[in-house]
Amino acid sequence: MICDNTAETTDAPNIEILRTVYGAENYAYIRNARELLLDLEDKSTSSGNTVFVQTLERIPIIMTRCGVLADYAIDGRNCILIDDENAEQLKAALDRMGDEDFRSEMSRFQKQDHAERYSMRAAARKFAAATRD
């Protein structure tokens, strides 16, 4: 799966190019995906944050480095960060995803990270703490 606003087409049978997909539509795609490659074209906006958080508790993420998502991404723990247009890093990340022990540990951490930082319960705790102060 690729969510891309500029790619025209691909001949790869296991890749589908999507545009502006989030919310319920994103969940339908990630339910059947093995991992998500989040390649952020515009590094000055946090346009990938919704997709990142929605995917976090479900499947492993490989993501291009992006300063505006630095607070979300923990390289090697809740995602693997790679540089733009670096085929060697992408191949290494995909190889690493083939290690079932690594995938299992990343998945465990992703679920924990989501629960602690992005779940509705986490939002309620943050809201309650803010209103007490």
pLDDT at position 20: 72
Q: How confident is the model at residue 121 (pLDDT cuts 50, 70, 90)?
A: very high
d(CA 117, CA 22): 19
* Digit-coded pLDDT (tens) for 34-62: 888 888 777 777 667 888 898 898 999 99
Look at the domain 2-132 and name its fold: Rossmann fold (3.40.50)
Q: Would you say 3 and 18 are in contact if contact means Cβ atoms under 8 Å apart?
A: yes
* Digit-coded pLDDT (tens) for 58-116: 999 999 998 888 889 999 999 999 998 899 999 999 999 999 999 999 999 999 999 99
pLDDT at position 32: 80
Tell me the CA end-to-end span of the chain in Å, nearest whole number.
44
Residue-range domain boundaries for the chain: 2-132
Give the residue with greater pLDDT, 21 vs 110.
Answer: 110
